[in-house]
Amino acid sequence: MTRDLPLAAQRYLEHAIAPGTGASDEVRLEMHGEIKLGKWRPFRATEIIRWPDSMVWRARTSMSRLPVSGFDKVSDGRGIQHWKMLGFIPVLNASGPDIARSGAGRMAGESVWLPSVLADPATQWEPDSPARASARLDVLGEKAILHVAIAPTGALQSIVSRRWGNPGAGAFRYEDFGGVVEAENTFGGYTIPTRLRMGWYFGTDRFEPEGEFIRITIDKAVYT
């Protein structure tokens, strides 16, 4: 499945998918980390990705020592963000085409948690350099190009793509979204990034001071 791909993509996929591993288009993730809501706050979350149809991320954190919980979801071309404090005070309610487009772009970046999707013939790979490659994906009608940097071992070092969004609460537009991979682990035959720093403006001097907003550690991944 990989022999006709760019060498960097071959190296990555042969590292990410152990021989004999069955193809999977669904993963359930358990994670923890920090999210920047004014300041860095700890969170715990679960996420289910069903490729290419849906993604739902449910998380718990706190603000002013009060619990905040909710979800981000994209499914059937619809995007929803629904968050409450103490279970009943609205913090964020958003939906509509812009939220759906942004969610589809998020799914494209998170395809690295479903490596068999990136090995599928429907994913078009192009070489960028001996250590970089780009994958073209179509997710819920949103076309994305995922650029990945790959170590000599085949491990992912960074990911970035143009994603629809409104960082800084401005008008929706395309901005670079991605991050640094700091660790990996293997679950069910798939070796995936398990510690990442992610956000907007990746690859520019704006990433760390204003774009980075989430630091993720994957604790468990179950493939079906």
In angstroms, the CA 1 to CA 84 distance is 45
CA 209 to mean position of chain CA atoms: 20
Nearest to 208 by CA among 40, 33, 62, 32: 40
Residue 207 has what DSSP assignment?
I
Q: How far apart are the two ends of the chain, measured CA to CA in Å?
A: 20
Beta strands in 38-172 (DSSP E): 39-50, 54-63, 66-75, 78-85, 89-95, 124-129, 132-139, 142-150, 156-165
What is the per-residue pLDDT for 105? 97
Per-residue confidence (pLDDT) for residue 154, from 0 to 100: 97
Looking at residue 1, what is its pLDDT?
A: 72
- Residue-level pLDDT at 77: 86
pLDDT, position 58: 98
| Half-sphere exposure (Cβ direction) of 143: Cα atoms closer than 13 Å | 2
3-state DSSP: the chain helix, strand, coil percent, rounded to 5? 20, 60, 25
pTM: 0.95
Altogether, the residues listed in the chain come to a count of: 224
Per-residue pLDDT tens, the chain, 224 aa: give them.
777 899 999 999 999 999 999 999 999 999 999 999 999 999 999 999 999 999 999 999 999 889 999 999 999 889 999 999 998 898 889 999 999 999 999 999 999 999 999 999 999 999 999 999 999 999 999 999 999 999 999 999 999 999 999 998 889 999 999 999 999 999 999 999 999 999 999 999 999 999 999 999 999 999 99
Instruction: Say what the pLDDT of residue 160 is.
Output: 98
In order of their start, the domains of the chain are 7-218 (2.50.20)
* pLDDT score of 100: 97
